[in-house]
Structure 1
Amino acid sequence: MSIIIVGIGFAIMLVLMFISIPVAVSIVTVGVLGGYAFYGAPLVNMMGGVVWTTLNSPAILAIPLFMLLGEFLLRGGIADKMYDAFAIWLDRLPGGLLHTNIATCALFSATSGSSVATAATVGTIALPALQQRNYPPSASLGSLAAGGTLGILIPPSINLLVYGSLANASVGKLFAAGLIPGILLALLFSVYIMVFQGRAGHVTDERVRIPLATKLGSLRHLIAPLLIFGVVMGSIYGGFATPTESAALGVVITLFIIALMGRMSWGLMLNCVMQAARTTGMTVIVLTAALLLNVTISMLGATQIVTQWVAGFEFSSVTLLLVLIVFYVILGMFMDAMSMLVLTVPIAVPMVVAAGIDPIWFGIFIILMCEIALITPPVGMNLFVVQGLRRDGGSFNDVIRGALPYVFIMLAFVVLLIFLPQIVMWLPDSLAHA
């Protein structure tokens, strides 16, 4: 088998996706047919056992639980109160409610694990207020699309769970590795807003000074999400629970909080469960397809072939990562984040490990590249999500124009992490030695 055959297989998958064949079908087609062509029925027959074993792992069980947690936060009214509290505290900063968008996305990300859910949730809450206060559409939509990307970086993250399963990496370490970069990236977004969009919404908006007592009182609305985040992450790093058990704890605590708020009902429960099931189904189908492809890749020795091919160029680790940045940016323009993740991890991880790059650090690298894909036209998922929330019939170009500056911020941040990997690795290394 040669690198040409590996390239042909990858190209066939991309072509199938570009002609609108579902991602899972495209991956399975190449994985199963390729395995059958080289090894016949015995290889295909063993695929079922591999998929069954992997999908029954505790890490995969955490996916529907975190999906359900995000749904309860949205439909239980916790996210609305969170946004109102941040608006009171951040409204007087240059950029006003745009900072509220970023802060709410960051905190919602710390409990939901999904970028699309974060962008949709915060966008639904924020857009009416932003339009009422005459914020420019591009600034409003761009901050929501970019802020939503934090959902797959700040733990707990569905994409980090998937990466951990595919790369056989510790989910606990991945969650720890994503926390500091997630916070720093949110701060960079706010710095950009303060410097370049400080006048947004101020032209016709008269600021009303809010009494300190009201401000302090609003902080109670942040207790619930911070408590949920503290329990989920604290139980993992305190050694009391696995990621799956911590997700279950988060769901139970969220249900208790919603009940205390007087918003619990059978209709709410059914709605949340059904939506979480749909989202989980889509994620697990793509993951299953990736696992089938992995069987063929492993048996054919494709990872070794690609690793040897790349080693022939004698790239340094920095050069290899810079090449991967270009590759992922181009791929992300035409593919959604989850598909990009499951399609490339089986090949990319052995390649970068052979180059001396830590797989935990690379997990954050690839998640950041997935974030960029979420707001890169023409197929950036978050761009379509926030555009779909508009009620003014505005142009899609508004969203693209507003989100592009954040793409460059994230690219610069990725380069920073390449030269300062301690930003990613300090917390997981510290917890490992604690």
Structure 2
Amino acid sequence: MSADAVAVTGFIVLFVLMLLRVPVGMAMGLVGVSGFGYLVGSGPALKLIGQTSMRTVTDYTFGVIPMFLLMGAFVSASGVSRELFQAANAFVGHRKGGLGVATIAACAGFAAISGSSVATAATFSTVAYPEMRRYGYPQSFATGVIAAGGTLGAMLPPSTVLAVYGIITQQDIGKLFVAGILPGLLAISMHMMTIGVIGAVRPGFLPAGPKSDWPERLASLRDVWAPLLLFAFVIGGLYGGVFTPTEAGGMGAGGAFIIGVLRRRLSRADIRASLLQATRTAAAVFTVLIGALLFGYFLTVTQVPQKVTEFMTGLGVGPYGVLALIMLMYLVLGCLMDAMAMIILTVPIIFPVVTALGFDPIWFGVIIVMTVELGLIHPPVGMNVFVIKSVIKDVKFSTIFAGVLPFIVTDLIRLVILILLPIIATYLPSRM
């Protein structure tokens, strides 16, 4: 069997295994080792398993993932989410749609510290949703805002998705984190503007909450300054070259632990649960990474990336035409696949095409994450939608999807803006 036939067979087997609910890391590793063994030999394939596994779990650069996961776990256990929402609500909750704006602001703050979209959506389903419903916000709007706000965790540093992209493509993870700041701020602004437009188009649809006086507003900031200062310290140190990404993760995890203990928000049970949560999540991510690296060796020996590059650059549609096709592919895959699986499966194949066309790899990483954000909320999968449904039992999927529709339109507009103005993503990394 030729290398091309083996490659096609490998992809078919991979998708069959994924349809059978085999974990994506296991599926990619199995196909990668089997295909590599068939073409090169069983001996080298077996050696590859041990070498790749050991190199991945002992690589200093990869330590950024468990450190930031641990930081997020400590922050989540400290109850910061409710304090962020209360602080944001104190300043803007009295305006029409203000609770929605407060939810976006609090989601952004929490996502920036925890780095998890799913955790953000799940947390604010219990924190913000009851408040919005209590003041008469429609169910579709309340759930839609939470789903959209949860996507900010994919872009704002420390982003696990950006870290994995950097590992796969061998890009500077620190620059990728910094590259996500301005696009993340753009996302926050456009989501808030979307809420304002909804309120203007449909008068009476979004009620106003009670107004807080200035002493109450200042008091609400008392509980949130420390976590936000920690985020600024970690990202500022990263941007200033004081920390490597792994060191920044360690400082963040240590800082989150100290803040939680000093504020008496972390009990022994919370610490134990946070350590277990971070360990389990890191183990899952590393399993997928090992599988992806093994699958990458299979792609190398079958020369799939080179052949895909030759095909796509020879289409005659120009660089931006090829980019449009890639974005369309990601939007379709986002309907069917988990975000992390989509990144790990496609980037090794697509990345050589992007570099051959002359696009900036840091900018492309941000573009990929933006499509991942869309995949978190658009049907039929919409991971954040499923998370919200699992927390809020009395809401229908159709209701949540109706609520996120305006934010999907906003995200598509934002994607076009970033494609037309790549400097939004490349300016800060270029200053490092």
The verdict on how the C-alpha distance between 1:78 and 1:68 changes in structure 2, with shifts beyond 3 A counting, is: same
Distance 1:368 1:203 in 2: 29
Q: Which runs of 5+ in 1 are unaligned?
A: none
Q: Which amino acid aligns with 2:33?
A: V
Structure 1 residues 318-327 or 90-99, which shifts more? 90-99
Distance 1:84 1:200 in 2: 26
**Residue 355 (structure 1) aligned to one of 354, 357, 361:** 357
Displacement after TM superposition at 1:203 (Å): 6.5
Distance 2:31 2:91 in 1: 52
| 3-state SS, counterpart of residue 307 of structure 2 | helix
Task: Kindly provide the CA deviation profile for residues 305-326 of structure 1, in whole angstroms up to 9, marking residues without a partner as x.
Answer: 1111112213322111111111
Displacement after TM superposition at 1:206 (Å): 6.5
Displacement after TM superposition at 1:3 (Å): 6.0
The verdict on how the C-alpha distance between 1:204 and 1:337 changes in structure 2, with shifts beyond 3 A counting, is: closer
Displacement after TM superposition at 1:5 (Å): 5.4
Determine if the alignment matches structure 1 residue 162 to structure 2 residue 170: no
Q: Aligned-pair RMSD on alpha carbons?
A: 2.0
Determine if the alignment matches structure 1 residue 74 to structure 2 residue 64: no
Alignment of 1:119-158 (within 5 A): 119-158=121-160
Distance 1:385 1:313 in 2: 40
Displacement after TM superposition at 1:341 (Å): 0.6
Q: Which amino acid aligns with 2:423?
A: Q
Task: State the match for 1:428 in structure 2.
Answer: 429
Q: Which amino acid aligns with 1:406?
A: F
Distance 2:213 2:340 in 1: 45
Confirm or deny: 8 A CA contact 1:107 1:225 kept in the other structure. no
Task: State the match for 1:97 in structure 2.
Answer: 99
Task: State the match for 2:371 in structure 1.
Answer: 369
Displacement after TM superposition at 1:207 (Å): 4.0
Determine if the alignment matches structure 1 residue 109 to structure 2 residue 111: yes
Displacement after TM superposition at 1:96 (Å): 1.7
Q: Which runs of 5+ in 2 are unaligned?
A: none
The verdict on how the C-alpha distance between 1:7 and 1:329 changes in structure 2, with shifts beyond 3 A counting, is: farther
Alignment of 1:9-88 (within 5 A): 9-47=10-48, 48-88=50-90
Confirm or deny: 8 A CA contact 1:133 1:201 kept in the other structure. no
Q: Which amino acid aligns with 1:356?
A: G
Displacement after TM superposition at 1:2 (Å): 6.7
Alignment of 1:173-184 (within 5 A): 173-184=175-186
Alignment of 1:382-401 (within 5 A): 382-391=384-393, 393-401=394-402
Distance 2:23 2:343 in 1: 15
Task: Kindly provide the CA deviation profile for residues 194-228 of structure 1, in whole angstroms up to 9, marking residues without a partner as x.
Answer: 11145999669674332112112222233122211
The verdict on how the C-alpha distance between 1:12 and 1:198 changes in structure 2, with shifts beyond 3 A counting, is: farther
Confirm or deny: 8 A CA contact 2:90 2:211 kept in the other structure. no
Task: State the match for 1:411 in structure 2.
Answer: 412
Confirm or deny: 8 A CA contact 2:103 2:149 kept in the other structure. yes
The verdict on how the C-alpha distance between 1:6 and 1:357 changes in structure 2, with shifts beyond 3 A counting, is: farther
Displacement after TM superposition at 1:372 (Å): 1.0
Distance 1:399 1:364 in 2: 26
| 3-state SS, counterpart of residue 181 of structure 1 | helix
TM-score, structure 1 as length reference: 0.94
Displacement after TM superposition at 1:405 (Å): 2.3
Number of matched pairs:
430
The verdict on how the C-alpha distance between 1:316 and 1:399 changes in structure 2, with shifts beyond 3 A counting, is: same
Confirm or deny: 8 A CA contact 2:76 2:114 kept in the other structure. no
Alignment of 1:217-232 (within 5 A): 217-232=219-234
TM-score, structure 2 as length reference: 0.94
Q: Which amino acid aligns with 1:413?
A: R
| 3-state SS, counterpart of residue 144 of structure 1 | helix
| 3-state SS, counterpart of residue 151 of structure 2 | helix
User: What's the % identity of the aligned pairs?
Assistant: 37
Displacement after TM superposition at 1:43 (Å): 3.4
Task: Kindly provide the CA deviation profile for residues 248-278 of structure 1, in whole angstroms up to 9, marking residues without a partner as x.
Answer: 1112222222222222321110111111122
Task: Kindly provide the CA deviation profile for residues 96-135 of structure 1, in whole angstroms up to 9, marking residues without a partner as x.
Answer: 2111111111111211111111111222211221222221
Distance 1:334 1:101 in 2: 28
Task: Kindly provide the CA deviation profile for residues 25-68 of structure 1, in whole angstroms up to 9, marking residues without a partner as x.
Answer: 32123212211221121331342213422332223212112111
Confirm or deny: 8 A CA contact 1:139 1:197 kept in the other structure. no
The verdict on how the C-alpha distance between 1:272 and 1:312 changes in structure 2, with shifts beyond 3 A counting, is: same
Displacement after TM superposition at 1:12 (Å): 3.2
Structure 1 residues 197-206 or 131-140, which shifts more? 197-206
Q: Which amino acid aligns with 1:59?
A: T
Structure 1 residues 214-223 or 302-311, which shifts more? 214-223
